[in-house]
Structure 1
């Protein structure tokens, strides 16, 4: 029983925390690579290609072990293709928004994912809502607070409350290679909001895919393969400068390899496994963890300035996030109690033999 609880609780928790750390690392490396001149169209296309190649290596072994799975039907392949389209659009919006803003803003706005996921899960009947229940009230209130916090982060930048000496000298450009004007900040935040709305939609569709075909590595490989086939021509059209596709052996190459292995590869695989095990709302609840990691790494490695609006919005977002967590935990506790109450009391009378008239002769264990 203890080993079973560890598999269902401790292992998913540890995996989600690790994935959030690696995802913030991708954002910081991408930000540093764009300052070296890396095109984010090139970055996305190469990341999909690297993850496809990485997942291709163990694929024959898992295909051999998955012979009992149902066949890949046309509607399932269409859903995986749709996942590839959504993944590409989300990354286009996300990385462009990151260029206009900073990893700190991106991680702060990622707290919108639990709220959006909860709302979509209700719409698709993956979450139950009882308006008189305290757990449902907490989840609804927490989702609303999270959205208000996100609006605060996007619309109010505020004064600088902390910056390194290098960032103080280069404030106009360090937050973003495209300039840190209020217009760019709002545009970057808006693009990030679009990304963080598409991510929960991706979670919902991926959950339905896993119910239909419960083989994580095969589904994730097909997703990355679709992403590669879609992103290659799209990114070539958007980035027509062929010299931009030549990668230098510096931080640009490191960021692409890191993203391909950890973000579009390992992170996607862990999220898909978690979606099948715990559902979309649970996976989305770990996004606020990235705020502290992103803020520290951005200030230390990129020289980003920390703004008052980001801190205030992050606090509001975190309050909403923990309200949703409390509501989710309370709901699970109530559901366990209901199951216990529904179980019949143990019968201390054991049937020993049946008489000729069909009656049961019993023996009292007491």
Structure 2
């Protein structure tokens, strides 16, 4: 039941994350700067998280903070800026963003191998499946990024021919895909670093508060340099304000705390495995509400990514099953060696 509850929470969080991305895309389409968006959403989230931490830790002791923990959270904060992902969404769409974040399980698996959070033995069927699944995920992401194909939804322009629809994506779409892929790598790094921190400092909410503080402080000078128009910092009381509010509450605050909690309970790979679900949700929202055109390349790439994702998960399940069997055999052997000692005991009457 506990595992089912964690799964349900992650599904809900993924739905909320794609919804926030869709609202953010709509706000950016109307001219909102992604740099202003990052500063305001993190600043508002910091207020929410600080208020929540005062209430939550009012009668709970906090683990002791050390310089090492603060430095690790600072590293996570630098990566959590996610300038790449937000800029990528501006150049492309939420559908492209979710397609590229489908690379997160593959990136997380590779980083977990490097950090020894995962093991790889090519003699085992599970390890072979994880390796093949990783390569399929990369191939699918490249297909979505570099191949457009014929439009499946929407009416193509009368001036465009079939040959034009089979050409590769325009340059801004390719740039958007590359930036979103870099953002996916950043998400994987955050998962791994977060799991590393939680082993020594098991306090998900406080880690999120400190990380949000770092992100807010770091994003201000970066955004001031990148966004030179002072009028961009004046928010309009429309979808821009809604996007910042939704991001602060659901993305930066709630999602970050839940991801930290799941990383601590299940590990970084389990947290990353839910990312491909966003592809289905983002496609529906993008086509239905933003007027995005669904192309054949996105469908083919999404299918390849899904196959790679589930191959990795199947391999992970095989390895866990084998570990349980080996542990059971070890316990049985231990009991067998102790049995003769019990039989040889003599009881004086």
The alignment's TM-score, normalised by the length of structure 1, stands at 0.87
**Aligned match of 2:326:** 338
Unpaired runs of 5+ in structure 1? 1-5, 173-179
Partners of 1:58 and 1:121 lie apart in 2 by 31
1:361 maps to 2:347: yes
Contact 2:145 2:169 in 1 (8 A): no
**Aligned match of 2:80:** 87
Normalized per residue, the structure richer in strand is 1
Partners of 1:227 and 1:134 lie apart in 2 by 41
**Aligned match of 1:175:** none
Q: Superposition pairs for residues 315-354 of structure 1, below 5 Å?
A: 315-344=303-332, 345=335
Q: 1:28 to 1:259 in 2, by over 3 A?
A: same
3-state SS of 2:80 partner: helix
Q: Report the alpha carbon displacement of residue 350 of structure 1 after superposing the two structures with TM.
A: 11
Encode CA deviations 1:235-281: one digit per residue, 9 max, x unaligned.
12211222111111111100000001111111111100000000000
Partners of 1:272 and 1:301 lie apart in 2 by 31
3-state SS of 2:152 partner: strand
**Aligned match of 1:177:** none
Q: 1:233 to 1:141 in 2, by over 3 A?
A: same
3-state SS of 1:361 partner: coil
Q: Report the alpha carbon displacement of residue 67 of structure 1 after superposing the two structures with TM.
A: 2.0
Q: Report the alpha carbon displacement of residue 228 of structure 1 after superposing the two structures with TM.
A: 0.7
Contact 2:29 2:90 in 1 (8 A): no
Equivalenced residues, count:
339
Partners of 1:222 and 1:23 lie apart in 2 by 21
Q: Report the alpha carbon displacement of residue 111 of structure 1 after superposing the two structures with TM.
A: 1.1
Given the alignment, which residue of 231, 239, 246 partners 2:234? 246
Q: Report the alpha carbon displacement of residue 66 of structure 1 after superposing the two structures with TM.
A: 4.0
Partners of 2:19 and 2:115 lie apart in 1 by 33
Partners of 1:263 and 1:201 lie apart in 2 by 17
3-state SS of 2:123 partner: coil
**Aligned match of 1:110:** 101
Partners of 1:285 and 1:245 lie apart in 2 by 36
| Residue range with higher mean Cα deviation, 329-338 or 317-326 | 329-338
1:33 maps to 2:27: yes
Unpaired runs of 5+ in structure 2? 161-167
Partners of 1:170 and 1:58 lie apart in 2 by 55
Q: Report the alpha carbon displacement of residue 152 of structure 1 after superposing the two structures with TM.
A: 0.7
CA RMSD of aligned residues (A): 2.4
**Aligned match of 1:218:** 206
Given the alignment, which residue of 85, 88, 91 partners 1:97? 88
Partners of 2:87 and 2:151 lie apart in 1 by 23
Contact 2:148 2:169 in 1 (8 A): no
**Aligned match of 1:260:** 248
Q: Report the alpha carbon displacement of residue 227 of structure 1 after superposing the two structures with TM.
A: 0.7
Q: 1:127 to 1:65 in 2, by over 3 A?
A: farther
Q: 1:236 to 1:323 in 2, by over 3 A?
A: same
Q: Superposition pairs for residues 66-145 of structure 1, below 5 Å?
A: 66-67=60-61, 69=63, 71-88=64-81, 91-145=82-136
The alignment's TM-score, normalised by the length of structure 2, stands at 0.92
Q: Report the alpha carbon displacement of residue 197 of structure 1 after superposing the two structures with TM.
A: 0.9
Contact 2:50 2:209 in 1 (8 A): yes
3-state SS of 1:57 partner: helix
